[in-house]
Structure 1
Amino acid sequence: MKNKAIAYPILILLISVIIYLYNPSDEGEETEDDNFISTTSSFNYLPTSTTNQIISHEYYTLSYSEKHEQAEWVAYELKKEHLKRTQRKRPYFIRDKKVKTKSANYKNYKKSGYTKGHLCPAGDRKFSKKAFDETFLTSNISPQEAKFNGGVWNRIEQKTRYWAGKDKQLYVITGGVLNDQLPTIGKEK
């Protein structure tokens, strides 16, 4: 990780904390489980990418910053139907094969003093095993202090789920603060 800059996710507070209530009408191609926007859908609210490395996964989209070895933002749709209490076995983090330059190795976090903070939370993707597992790609994590990850970040995730349950559908954009002056972790080249 070439001592890449850490993101201190005070992240653009679940950025644009949700482009509220989008009409879940017929726009876009529906998928067999009808619980997420397909990549051919009309999710036209993506932020600008400063890296030109936009990666579309089945259940979220991100802009990857090789310089910082993490996503500059992650965007996804959260529907009321996504809010399942299903218990799933937590997989190991793995590298994102869609990142041309290779995403960071999860081992960079070892003894760094930081936790692996999901940008698209696993808790928002419990409606299917595939969706849940997809959140464990290293392109979807950002270094976070444990108190932040288990504290304010967790409360924001819970509040977002509350809004999705109440309002039926949200578009969520999250990201870290990518700044070259912040400390770095890892030793990847």
Structure 2
Amino acid sequence: MAEVVLFHHAQGLTPGVEAFAEELRQAGHTVHVPDMYEGHTFETLEEGIGYASRTGFGTIMERGVAAAAPLGGEVVYAGFSLGVMPAQRLAQTRAGAKGALLIYSCLPVSEFGATWPADVPVQVHGMDADPFFADEGDLDAAKELAAATERAELFLYPGKQHLFADSSLPSYDQAAAELLTRRVLDFLSAL
């Protein structure tokens, strides 16, 4: 079974993020869910992004990196949207990374190094009409990543919701979330 560190999205460590982590635990995986917002959660994505902006996106990312520091190197780094920042950084730069799950977001590989590590499998998940994912460069970055390594899989879901796998939010899409979860569990079981 895999050890996973799961970084939350801009609305904070919501019940839906906790529920996703619990699904992975029920499948036998060890899952750590650090709170990069130090207890704050937000009703809307805009409020959460505002908090991250005021706090500093770099500060939020460093909180995530620091939370993963005590864990062994053989970890799968997973992130939802904002949480992709520390997840992708750690997957690309920390020796021994077992894999990466980049959900609702993907940064250009050049943010953290020249290339994606050849031995680190990665999945990217997003909705094809999500304005945050499809229109702000994340989809392009995900396509470039998928083209650059045979260890990358890009999964697009029909729809425009951003945080579609968080069961505690109005943006939740049950069918897409169930498919995403199955794909994530298959990924983890193959490691």
TM-score by length of 2: 0.34
**RCO comparison, higher one (Cα < 8 Å, 6+):** 1
Structure exhibiting the larger radius of gyration computed from Cα positions: 1
Q: TM-score of the superposition, structure 1-length normalised?
A: 0.34
Larger helix fraction of residues = 2
